[in-house]
Amino acid sequence: MKVVPTSALAHWRRVGDALEAPDGVHRPSSFSAFLAAAIAGDGEPSEVAGYTVVDAGCGAGLMTIAALRGGAARVVAQDRDPSALRATRNNVRSVLGRDVVDRVDAAESDWTELGELGGDLVVVNPPQRPSRLIAATPSSERHLHDTAGPDGTDALRIVLEHADADIVLSTMSRVLSPDLAPLAAAVGMPRYSYDGAIAAAQVEHSAPWSTLVPGRIARVYVQRWSMVHG
């Protein structure tokens, strides 16, 4: 398992902070920066190299940019908000250049339609604040975080229920369970099996996590899921 260095987290956080993000579009978080650092490669072989990648819930497009930087053949940027899709294309053009935009397709849809998008691999930073934390979330942001349910995994379950890619890479905070493996295995069944974590880092959690994360720094993982065939 790769440990993502602080320097890589800081770099991708700076990239995310500089992106265009219209009102209502999810601005990249520290979790997003961690996932971007994990898939971008940055001189090492990337998990996404050569694949057609679905960026599930692309927001401002940080994961699309990281996947392209990591050698993805194409990226399908998916979001239910057309403003996010426009921002993603603009941000890809700004960060990577006009020619790279030709490798990005936009899909205005929700996660129940992921199976219609094709793709070999899905990357997703799902909402994972347990429902008891939503009251502490600013009202303007609650629509971005209120689908995780009591244990923080409901949004990920939706992805794994409806995706049709061979591989799904997702973030999950260590805070959600003392032992993530049994929780992850329960989330993935029966369509996806849990392969374990491919990357980890100490990641800053936002203010609403404070009751669960004193100091707001805790380990976050990139988890790998494989579709169950046969």
* Chain segment 102-133, per-residue pLDDT in tens: 999 999 999 999 999 989 999 999 999 999 99
**At 74, which helix (H) or strand (E)?**
strand 74-79
- Note the pTM of the prediction, 2 decimals: 0.95
Q: What is the pLDDT of residues 126-153, one digit of tens each?
A: 999 999 999 989 888 888 888 999 999 9
143 in Cβ contact with 201 (< 8 Å):
no
92 in Cβ contact with 100 (< 8 Å):
yes
Strand 192-204 to strand 217-227: parallel, antiparallel, or no bridges (unpaired)? antiparallel
Q: What is the pLDDT of residues 155-187, one digit of tens each?
A: 999 999 999 999 999 999 999 988 888 888 888
89 in Cβ contact with 20 (< 8 Å):
no
